[in-house]
Amino acid sequence: MPDTTPNLGLKKPLGNENVSRAAYNENLDIIDASAARKTDLIAHQNAADPHPQYATDTDLAAHATENNVHGATSSSAAGMIVARDSFGRAQVSAPSAAADIARKVDVDVIRADATKVSVMEVRTSDPVSPVVGQHWFRSDL
């Protein structure tokens, strides 16, 4: 008794079996019954949405014309990628840690304080206790 193929169930004769014309024709009938017809292909090609689980050409074109990364925003939003707005700006929340980004309003407040003068220094080491308004250049680097 011959083995059969897993997909179409075609008969594969064993080494000790003879293949008859009838068995060969039976395999051809199985292939013919399983093969797609040209009319099926044409109907598939002309279908409005032949692959509904995939994006359409319209979806792809709209996606390609986007000018930002998905989920990016120019507004202050936690957990989002920062994108610039049409003026090249981005917004961040008020800083709460030393390493946070300073906003313009925070810098303006410091610069508006007349008691804090701007000092420019040329030094060979960093100041031990730098103060607001103190700027320095290292001449030894």
pLDDT at 122: 92
Residue 139 has pLDDT above 80, yes or no: yes
23, part of any domain: yes
Q: Which of 35-44, 58-67, 113-122 has the lowest mean pLDDT?
A: 58-67
pLDDT at 31: 92
91, part of any domain: no
26, part of any domain: yes
Residue 114 has pLDDT above 80, yes or no: no
Average pLDDT of span 91-96:
87
The C-alpha atoms of residue 54 and residue 90 are separated, in whole angstroms, by: 34
59 and 112 together in one domain: no
CA distances in angstroms from 140 to 119, 122, 137, listed in the order given: 19, 10, 9
Domain of residue 42, residue span = 3-64
96, part of any domain: no
Residue 76 has pLDDT above 90, yes or no: no
Task: Give the number of other CB atoms < 10 A from CB of residue 77.
Answer: 14
Residue 124 has pLDDT above 90, yes or no: yes
| Alpha-helical regions (H) of 47-137 | 57-64, 104-112
pTM above 0.75, yes or no: no
130, part of any domain: yes
Residue 67 has pLDDT above 70, yes or no: no
Structural domains of the chain, count: 2
The C-alpha atoms of residue 135 and residue 120 are separated, in whole angstroms, by: 5
Residue (of 135, 139, 138, 137) closest to 120 by Cα position: 135
> Which one is predicted more confidently, 85 or 117?
85
Of the chain, the percentage scoring pLDDT greater than 70 comes to 94
Taking only the tens place, the pLDDT of each residue in 26-37 is 999 999 988 888
